[in-house]
Structure 1
Amino acid sequence: MQSILNLIRWQNLVMIIIAQVLIKYAFFEHFNALTSLDTLHFIILVIATICIAAAGNIINDIYDVETDTINKPDKVLIGKQISEKLAYNLFFALNIIGILLSLYLSHSVGKSSFFSIFVMISIALYMYASYIKGTVLFGNILISFLVAMSLLVVGIFDILPVMVPENKPLLSPFLDKLIDYAIFAFLINLIREIIKDIQDVDGDYKAGMNTLPIALGRDRATKIAFAVSMIPIGAVIYFVITYLYQYYVAIGYFLLCIIAPLIYATIKIFGSEYQHHYKHISTIYKLIMLFGILSLLLYPFIINLNGNA
């Protein structure tokens, strides 16, 4: 059982669950936004999302056996603790469950076409694992977009079905803020993917991949990661100055838990040389992603602090 949990990368799935729950209940529901999903249908959305994500993690591990044998042999599961046949069976089963649930959910909110979103995400995850992952930067961009979609899908299924011209001014700010978080998740994951490619360059090269550090060299890829890492720093500082300047608790949280780790990770990128350096940076960005998600808890507190709730 533990092997299967590791195969589907349960920690990442838990992060998706936390993000979607906070978007729904700490953000949409707390501010009484008009939504289309009751608790049961929201749970179905979460289950569908993690099924598709888990299937994506499995197929990624199946295709990564060769590179992982070189880069992280102690963490290889396929062919050791789990047979390839079982892994494929789990991959197909989870995809089928996720797509069927999304089909039901799409019909329940009166937007049958939304079903195609999960189908396309499933196909994209397979294409990423089987081919696109080994291309220069495009694979990094694709998987980062799919991470952002795990947030946006809540707004797509919960807000868009009930949005009409009459209530659009009231509901648009919720989607706008959700897009801000999705962009942040995209950027953080993009940097982390580049860092992971630099960390895994030896195994990827032997597997015939053409990732950014293989195409341009480790040093140039590190410089690109450093340059990209400046973008979320500037974006978060702008966000704090523009929207949170009067909320001191929120400013303190963003400075301590997001901006400071971002600056620390950027400095570490510039001075990294060895595999364990890049692994440390990757872990920092994962924590930054978590702290970014948890910042959704600040919105009710900020309103209470301001005396409006």
Structure 2
Amino acid sequence: MGKLKKVKAFIRLVRIEHAFFLAIAVAVGAIIAAKANPAVDFSIFDTEGNMLYVLYLLFIAMLSPFFIEMASFAINDYWDIETDKANKRKDRPLVTGELKKETALATAMLFFPLGIVLAFFTNITAFLLVLLFVVLSFYYSYEWKKKPVIGNIVIAASMAVPFIFGNVVIYNKIQLPVVILASMAFLMGLGREIFKSIQDIAGDKKQGRKTLPILIGKKNSAYIGSFLILLAVLISFYPLFFIEDYFGDIYYFSFVLITDILLVASVDSALKLKDFAAIREHTLKAQLTGLLAFLFGVLF
């Protein structure tokens, strides 16, 4: 196999687009916190707790979850190869043989420590948060993803925590917009993971797993996932009316409207039990536009 094909296979292994999303999520949480932190002076660039130091913290804080996310996907594929084969996941490079299992394991063993070390240079709260999620990632990939709901909750939490992480790196007081954004990410992530469990039901049955769709059926699972995502849509309107930085903000409204349309489209597909590839695409785009909504809302 050529080097370019191996690089592309590696990018698919670590789902690098998710790593970028998490890095951006950290930045959004950090920027919201920096605006609220009276110790941060955006007009000064030296090393006394102001903007230059904030930029340094932001840089290493974005890299930490970036590497941990890639490690998490690598170890997940390492332990999940038989289920992926049963589900005929041709998008998985370990299934297609483009990469060896040892490559996935080595990736995880390299990137997990790297992410942890980077978090060490932020503060103790952020560092402990990273350690917790490394442990959860291992348990999820090895055992919890076989359980109903708990594995879905861990993945959804991994989508929400980067906002909190970015906040606590810069400011020890967690800001309301960060809580709302993290809540939306959690609900959207949990709904999406339930939809993914519906897609993977055949392989999960062969592996003896007890996922939610296996226990209560595809349709009932689709209802639960849809409810969670629609709840995230409902919460998205809160800042427009109740948070000063976002009150009537046209930038926030424009991006969040796109986000909500994408989420409603994913719900429509899920309830029809079809086109799960489109659901993944819609939710990924919704993550990006949701991030932009909060970022532009707080900056402009």
TM-score (norm: length of structure 1) = 0.82
> What per-residue deviation string (whole Å, max 9, x for no partner) do you get for residues 18-49 of structure 1?
22233334x34466753555322321222222
Tell me what 2:43 maps to. Answer: none
Cα RMSD of the aligned pairs, angstroms, is: 2.3
Secondary structure of the 2:121 match is helix
Q: CA deviation at 1:5?
A: 1.9
Distance, in Å, in 2 between the alignment partners of 1:97 and 1:251 is 38
Distance, in Å, in 1 between the alignment partners of 2:294 and 2:234 is 20
Q: Does 1:234 align with 2:246?
A: no
Tell me what 1:102 maps to. Answer: 119
Distance, in Å, in 1 between the alignment partners of 2:238 and 2:33 is 24
Unaligned stretches of 5+ residues in structure 1: 161-171, 303-309
Tell me what 1:266 maps to. Answer: 267
Is the 1:196–1:278 contact (alpha carbons within 8 Å) kept by the matching residues of 2?
yes
Shift of the 7–208 alpha-carbon distance from structure 1 to 2, 3 Å rule, reads: same
Is the 1:68–1:75 contact (alpha carbons within 8 Å) kept by the matching residues of 2?
no
Q: CA deviation at 1:197?
A: 0.5
Is the 1:49–1:98 contact (alpha carbons within 8 Å) kept by the matching residues of 2?
yes
Distance, in Å, in 1 between the alignment partners of 2:249 and 2:162 is 28
Q: Does 1:19 align with 2:25?
A: yes
Query: Which amino acid letter does the alignment assign opposite residue 135 of structure 2?
Result: I
Query: Which amino acid letter does the alignment assign opposite residue 75 of structure 1?
Result: D
Q: Does 1:58 align with 2:99?
A: no
Is the 2:71–2:112 contact (alpha carbons within 8 Å) kept by the matching residues of 1?
yes
Q: CA deviation at 1:267?
A: 2.7
Distance, in Å, in 1 between the alignment partners of 2:186 and 2:66 is 18
Q: CA deviation at 1:119?
A: 1.6
Of the two structures, which has the highest relative contact order with CA contacts closer than 8 Å and spacing of 6 or more? 1
Tell me what 2:109 maps to. Answer: 92
Residue among 22, 39, 49 paired with 2:65: 49
Is the 2:87–2:200 contact (alpha carbons within 8 Å) kept by the matching residues of 1?
yes
Unaligned stretches of 5+ residues in structure 2: 1-6, 41-48
Secondary structure of the 1:78 match is helix
Secondary structure of the 1:93 match is helix
TM-score (norm: length of structure 2) = 0.84
Tell me what 2:169 maps to. Answer: 157
Tell me what 2:204 maps to. Answer: 204
Tell me what 1:281 maps to. Answer: 279
Identity of aligned residues (%): 21
Q: Give the number of equivalent residue pairs.
A: 280
